[in-house]
Amino acid sequence: MTPLVLILAIAVPAAAGLLVLLLPSRRAPWAPAVLAALACAFELALAVYAFPHDFAFAWSWMGFGAEFALKLSRFSAFILLGIATFSFLVTAYSAVSMAKAPSSRRFHAWVLFTVALSAGAVLADNLILFLVFWEGLLLTLFAMIAAGKTRPFATAVKAFVIVGLTDLALMFGVMLTGHLAGTLSMSAIRLPLDGLGAVAFLLLMIGAMGKAGAMPFHSWIPDAAIDAPLPFMALLPGSLEKLLGIYFLARISLDLFVLTPESWVSPVLMGIGAATILLAVLMALVQKDYKKLLAYHAISQVGYMILGIGTALPVGIVGGLFHMVNNAIYKSSLFLSAGAVEKETGTTDLHELGGLGRSMPITTVCFLIAAASISGVPPFNGFFSKELVYDGALERGWIFYAIALAGSFFTAASFLKLGHAAFFGKQTDAKRTVKEAPWPMLLPMIVLAGLCIVFGVANSLPLERLIQPVLGTAMEGAHGGTFAGFPTNMMLVGLTAGVLALAVANHAFGVHRTGKGIGAVDHIHHAPGLSSVYKLQATGALDPYRMLGGVVGMASKGLYALDRAIDWVYSGLAAQSALAASWVLRKAHNGNVNRYVLWALAGAAAVVLAVLAVVGGGR
């Protein structure tokens, strides 16, 4: 039974995915969605059943250290639970929102494969096996973006290139780690962070960050937000990728390597985290599209997690992991609310939205809870995890704390703007007939919003049951053994409250200035200095992918000449001489049997002579 549970967690969604592809599409258009939801429900049941256990399973696979080894630890059980929960909620939701889409069958199949591969990546206890599952996710990501509607192929390629490059770094990292540790078994590796070890760590870190979507590996996410189906956004960039990326980052920081506050890697991580928070949130602030705004926040929030883990202090790590859970909850709830709005109004452009609060009250309430949560308003879950991260950041350096706090200000400001523009204010005439979204779409949103409250008010539940066990012995002696309950550092709470108040004031000022909710942050957008940065961003000049494209373009021109030369050697010289040889040999085969017999006899004579030369010469 033991290994069976682990294998089922991978095999069942994979098999369901295959089944979805094989189903006749005409007969039962609803079947893929139902099957996907059922398989995810089963996955959830498995995750709950397996949660308290410590299962391990190993099967020698390729020989050279690449075992098919699965292991369920405290940490992976908790991530598996998250994966199962979010995929179940999203498939339940997409059963309605994607039901009529022509690509529903493919979409659900890819969702199921994604779930299977994610479960595999989390359960894998061997670096090679982990890599196999991880790379598989790259393919499903590509396929799911490509399954979207309008012009998604370019976006899919962009995601593929960015994530593919980071995966390449990961691959090198795995090789180097295996070389240094002398084993590929993840639970047996424990390397110090010095010299080559630090290089290996950084390579693995790039892989993890690429998956989590931290800067500078983020730029495909906002593009995908426009082009890809919304359930996809809620599932992958919204929750699963964050879970996986941060899971792996935490694994390498806590298990595979010994990350200490003294190591130079720690400030690097914190720097990336802080930069991601601030830069992405500044981009989010000025977006005029519901989905795109959320997408930039999906990037920005990763910064908090990386910052928290980068502190290498128990309080920061617990905060980072807790923030990962919370972010997955409120971010998918927000993406789902965007999906509901898009389904009912047909647009996500904030210029055309407004006053939806009256026609879509439940969606509005869910949005408000999730938005308050992401902005860090007590008593919702986001507040508690952010306070923990702040606590860790402040201990390591005030600059990190200051940046994180500034990030909070902009987060709150942008959600005030978004909420005001979409759900309040004047209702546009054309949208009079808007109804509330159907129940299967509302239920996941309500569940997630409920979780925002539960994980906030009763934060000891996730902290003590799920997250703190991950740290194991490191928790002892710190903070009386638990971080649950209301934050103890009142100065931090006070500053947070102050920043939130400032955001409200800023909003009021902006609305007063322009008279519209959507214009609430225009004064920041057009502030001297910032406006030119925003202009550059709008043209794509700040997109690392574009920059890479520019460099690659130059390099490719230079290499083209070299390539032609080499190409000539192959297709010109080599191919021509091969063809010439072939031609000469063909001419020799004129079908004359006498000639063939002669060859055979001459060959026999040559062989006999050769033998005689050797044997006779030996005498």
Q: Which residues bind another protein (CB under 8 A)?
A: 61-63, 575, 578-579, 581-583, 585-586, 589, 591, 593, 595-597, 599-604, 607-608, 610-612, 614-616, 618-619
Closer of 154 and 580 to another protein (Cβ): 580
CB of 582 to another protein, least distance (A): 4
Closer of 505 and 604 to another protein (Cβ): 604
CB 193 within 8 A of CB 241: no
Residues 6+ apart with CB under 8 A from 320: 246, 250, 304, 305, 306, 307, 308, 309, 311, 385, 389
Closer of 48 and 58 to another protein (Cβ): 58
Pairing of strands 68-71, 191-192: unpaired
| Residue 134 falls in which region: left (phi positive, over 0), alpha (psi -120 to 50) or beta | alpha
What are the distances in angstroms from CA 539 to CA 256, 334, 444, 536? Answer: 41, 27, 36, 5
Beta strands in 166-269 (DSSP E): 191-192, 257-258
CB of 122 to another protein, least distance (A): 25
CB 290 within 8 A of CB 341: yes
- The residue written with tokens 């859970």 in the block is 325
Q: For 143-175, b where at least 16 C-beta lie within 10 A, e where not — what string?
A: bbbbbbeeebeebbebbbbbbebbbebbbebbb
Closer of 527 and 575 to another protein (Cβ): 575
Closer of 100 and 587 to another protein (Cβ): 587
- As a whole number of angstroms, the distance between CA 446 and CA 448 comes to 5
CB of 592 to another protein, least distance (A): 9
CB of 144 to another protein, least distance (A): 26
CB of 615 to another protein, least distance (A): 4
Concatenating the DSSP letter of every residue in 596-608 gives HHHHHHHHHHHHH
- Residue 129 structure tokens: 């096996």
CB of 165 to another protein, least distance (A): 24
Helical segments of 431-543, H only: 439-457, 460, 468-471, 490-514, 522-525, 530-538
Closer of 569 and 600 to another protein (Cβ): 600
CB of 577 to another protein, least distance (A): 10
Closer of 461 and 597 to another protein (Cβ): 597
The vertex-450 CA angle with 444 and 453, nearest 5°, equals 150
Nearest to 504 by CA among 374, 407, 383, 417: 417
CB of 585 to another protein, least distance (A): 5
Closer of 556 and 582 to another protein (Cβ): 582
Helical segments of 376-397, H only: 381-396
Closer of 560 and 596 to another protein (Cβ): 596
CB of 59 to another protein, least distance (A): 11
- Residue 47 structure tokens: 């995750």
Closer of 100 and 586 to another protein (Cβ): 586
CB of 617 to another protein, least distance (A): 10
Pairing of strands 257-258, 191-192: parallel
Q: For 231-256, b where at least 16 C-beta lie within 10 A, e where not — what string?
A: bbbbbbbbbbbbbbbbbbbbbbbbbb
Q: For 602-615, b where at least 16 C-beta lie within 10 A, e where not — what string?
A: eeeeeeeeeeeeee
Closer of 56 and 66 to another protein (Cβ): 66
CB of 607 to another protein, least distance (A): 5
